[in-house]
Every structure is written in C-alpha cells, then in structure tokens.
Amino acid sequence: MAHCCSEGACSVASATPHTHTHEIEGTSQKGPITRALISFFLLMAGIILSAMGVSFFENQWIRLGWYLVAYFPVGIPVLKEAWEAMWKKDVFNEFTLMSVATIGAFFIGEYPEGVAVMLFYSIGELFQDAAVSRARRNIGALLDVRPEKASMVTENGIKTIFSEEVRVGDTVEVKAGERVPLDGVMLSGSAAFNTSALTGESVPRHIKKDEEVLAGMIAVDSVCRIKVTRPFGQSALTRILELVQDATERKAPAEHFIRKFARIYTPLVTLLAALIVMLPWLWSLVNPEFTYLFNDWLYRGLVFLVISCPCALVISIPLGYFGGIGAASRQGILFKGGNYLDVITKINTVVMDKTGTLTKGVFEVQDIVPVEGLSKDELLCTVAILESQSNHPIAKAIVPSLPDNMVSSLPMNVREVAGQGMEGEIDGKNILAGNIKLLHANGVTYPDEVKDIPETTVLCAIDGKYAGYIIVADAPKEDAKIAVEELRKTGIKDIVILSGDKQAIVSKLAGELGIDHAYGNLLPEGKVEKFEELMRTGANRMAFVGDGINDAPVLALSDVGIAMGGLGSDVAIETADVIIQTDQPTKIPMAIRIGKETRQIILQNITMAIGVKLAVLLLGALGIASLWAAVFADVGVSLLGIFNAIRIMRKKF
C-alpha cells in the first residue's frame, strides 16, 4: 500500500518513495515487523479466547484493554502520522482514513475488526516497502557495478587503493575476470571485454590499443593496463546511473492524473462515508416507519472509508513506470523519464539518420574492379601503398585491407592533390589514385559507367592508363534490416531516412533495408526543414534516431529523440529523450515494445483497482461487506498491483 497523501501520495519514483513511517533505504524494518507480529498474535489470541467462551474474556473492559494492547503497536505510528499531517493542514490522507475507521470500530464495539484494519494496513505497508526497495536495488545493482578498489601501477609495483583516489593520467591494471574501475584508454594490445552491464549485450567487445575502455566492463581473456581519462565520479557509468535515477522522477501523464485524482477523491469519499451515516438518520426523521440504528450505519460508513483508500493506484502506477525504466536499462536502453515510456507507445513514424544509425559509420572496401589483365590483389596493393601516405578517411579505409605480406615497396615522390587524390611512383611506375577529377586532369580516359556508381570510388591509373577502381562505402549494420522489419511489426507506419550523403547512396540503402522514403544531400538545416515538413503531414507522432551530436536540432524537434550509441557521449545524453547504449538498430523496436508492455501493466492496475474498489464500496454501502472484507480487498488489490508492476523487470523482450 502507499501513503496516499493529499498531494496524491509520494511517488515510488522519487529518491525515497515516502518519508512518513519508515524509510525504504538505509532503515531496518525489524521494528515494524516486530510490532506487526505482536499485534497479530494478540489479535489471534483474542479471537480464539472469544470463540472458546473463556469466562474472564467476556468482560467488556478486559476485551477492550486486550484489543487496545493489540492495536497500539501498529496503530500508534499511523495515529502519529495522521496528527502530524493535520497540523500541516493535510487532513484528507490515508492516515486519517485509517485512524477514523479504526477508532470508529472500537466505538461500536468491533474491537477485532478495528485491530485487523490497522494490522493489515501495516502489513501492506511492509510489502510495499519491500517491493519498491527491491526494484530500486535491482536497478542499482544493474548499473552501479563500479569496483570500490583499483590496482594502480606505480614505480614500486601494483598498489591497491580506493577507486576514488585514482587520478586522471594514472595507470590501472585489470586482470581477467575483473571489472574496469574507471574510464580510460587501452595501453596494452587488443583484449576482449564483457560490456553487458553497460550495454545489455552478452557478446564480448574487442578493444584495441588507444581505444576507450569504460568503467563496469569486465576483462575476459587477458590482463590489461588502462590509462585513466576520467575520475571515478565522472565516468560514463556514473552518468548513466544518474540518468536512470533522474528518469524515475519524471512523471508520466498517468502519474500526474493519479496525483490530481487523489486530491479530489480522498475528501469526496470521506464526505460520502459521512453521508452513508447521516442520510438514513435524516430519512428516519421524516419516515417514522424506518428504524435507524446508528451503529449499523456507522459500520457501513467505516467499511466505505477503509475500501476507499486509493493505495493500489497510488503505488502500483509509479512502480510500473519504475519497473519499465529498469527493464529498459537491463537491455541497454535508457529512458529519461516515465513520460517517454508513454510517448513512445504513440509513435507512428520513425525518422533515422543514415551514418552511425543504420550503417556502421566506418568506410570499408566494398568491391575491387580491375581492368582485364590485372588482378584484384594487384590493384588493391598498388592503391593501398600509395594511400598509406595519406591521412584522408578514404585512405584509412583502404590501407587496412592490404595484407602485410603484399607490401612490396614504399612509394616515391608522393604528392596529394587537394579534392582529387594522390600521385606518386611505385617501382618506377607513375601511379594515380583518386576521383574522376584526378584522372580527367591528367588526361586519363576511363569507362563512362564509372560515373554512375553511387558509392565513393577510388580510380587508379598506372603510367597514364586506366587500371580499375575500388569502391569504398559505409556498410549497413548487421541488424539494420531486422530492425526495420520489427519496427513495422510494432505498428510503425512510416520509416524515413534523412542523410547528408548523396541521394543515390541513400536510396540504395533504403532499397536494401525495405525503407520507403529516403532523402539525401541534406545539410543539418535541411534535415530540420524536411523533418518539419514531415511533421505537418497528418497526425504524425514522430521519433528521430540519430547520433545525438550533428542531429541535435532534429532530436529536439521530435516527439521522442533517440540517440544511437550514446554511451559516453555527453551531447547524446543531454539532447536525446531515449539513449540506445549500443549501436544496434534493433534496440529501437525493443524500446517501443517495453513502452507498450509498461503501459499495458499500468492499464491493468488501474482497471483492477477501480473495479474491485467500486464493487466493495457498493457492497459496503448496502451493508453486505464487512470491515474484514474491506481490509482484505484493499490490501489484496494493492499487493496484486505491486506484483503486477514489478513483473516487467523479469520479462524478456
């Protein structure tokens, strides 16, 4: 059960779900449990003594004293909360409702029921605290996996110190099976790391020398040394943990509704309970044939009060969003708030950047087409040797494709022609490697079909004669096509690509992936204009997926901005509403599925809570339901709502 104060109860999504009877974290629950056990045994003993007809227990004052002793362990904390709330002019809250209901039960002589109401209310509180605490611990354990200590490399050997004491520039050693304590760069050779705590992926990632290593990763197969680049408190993992904690405080529309609902609902049901007691009395004044028994009608009013507490709604709805955020985090998807879990379920159009989102963002050799009489290896070797003298991105894509045993000699008299390519001598032969402009400037003829190739091409000429070309392109990600298919299964009607690349390249990629609309040749401002144009067409609810840096303006315009590969990127974390920590496009439909599952659980809890409460409220007003039924219904529905809400944490997507 939740604390349903006049502000709509304290949300489980806050740092501490409530600040009344007991704190969720850092405070032992032994005291509340002990008090509940004492109350339970005294209540059961009293019921047994009454059922056995023990003579001394038939005395009314002895029975009253016995049940008061049973009542106080669980009742005094709630009475105290009610009193403090009234001093703060917060009269209509669940403490007041429980206090009035139990005092009223004692007033009409229903002592066991008065104790039971408060006892089971307290038990519900304990279950609530345990459920919320567990959910918070699950998320904390999921993300906060930074080792407390680090093995720092010093002149005198390895020294174990607290991770907070390691400074930027220090070197730490991580053995196989150990977690990386701080962000840094690899000093050793290539090593495999388990990144599941950060990205949700079980496949190890191979990291080479001078590449970034992040806190929380686990060294899989070798000992490695890492140069620290960020202090303990500023690691990417710390930022992710803070992001998830902040996300739980951003309320979804359903949570705002429940807060407003409780402000009106609680005083309303209190008034209705009073009317249940007073209206029959007024009716008896004008109709003498109607017999009015105050205790009977007061009992009905008390049943109405107990069942009226909106506890199941107030706790299970925020906890549902909390669970959704945790479930997404487990998959390497970070929602910045429960509100985005809601909005992403309404998305019908997904607009994506090309480079780094649908493609790997790295140029690779895709094809080698030599002239007749020249092999592919010979053409690749010739171009790669010449390009090895350049720092151009295209050159860096070609050179790694060349096996070491194919290098025959170094180029001589190398000259780089800006905007055209490279010229040099290899084994006494003049070599040209570049675009069409380079060959045209040197009077080299080439086939016309080369002009129609959409991808980036590096043409080669040897001693003034055309020798062939190499296609260099950004390859699609392995799961890009699957992501498009799964997006359509989630109900996305339109998928669009916006890119700065050539239209021919963008259109070809769209055809390969099964995407209907693709727009290329767009500068950042062009992307904004095209996105605004798409927004104006019909009732589009749009998500934009980009790298979170160049696409920041469009991310800000969209209903949901999704940053791909945002791990460690400050700009991505600041700009986007949802962050995909891996580079996998399939995480986008997964985020939508998690949002829909969360929303379904929320709707289930709302329907269940309102339905059961309305039924028991009606039965209570008619005198059919007892206080026992009311308290069991209230506690039962609350617990069902809690268990249903945390179910999403175990679900596989």
Helix, coil or strand: residue 651: coil
Structure tokens at 163: 């991770």
Give me the torsion for CA of 341, 528, 199, 326, rounded to 10°. -10
What angle separates helix 311-330 from helix 627-646, to the nearest 10 degrees? 10
Amino acid letter at 419?
G
Alpha carbon distance, N-terminus to C-terminus of the chain: 29
Q: Are the CB atoms for 252 and 339 separated by under 8 Å?
A: yes
- Structure-token match 């917060």, residue found: 90
Catalytic, out of 129, 183, 342, 353 = 353
Phi, psi at residue 10, to the nearest 5°? -75, 135
**CA distance linking residue 294 with residue 279, whole number of Å:** 11
The pair phi, psi for residue 475, each rounded to 5°, is -75, 145
Spatial separation of the C-alpha atoms in residues 79 and 61, rounded to whole Å: 22
CB 357 within 8 A of CB 585: yes
Nearest residue to 527 via CA among 502, 553, 506: 553
Helix and strand numbers (H, E) in the chain are: 20, 22
Calpha distance 339→602 (Å, rounded) = 13
- With tokens 């109709």, the residue in question is 287
Residue 452 designated active-site: no
Q: Which H or E element spans position 638?
A: helix 627-646
Task: Please list the active-site residues.
Answer: 353
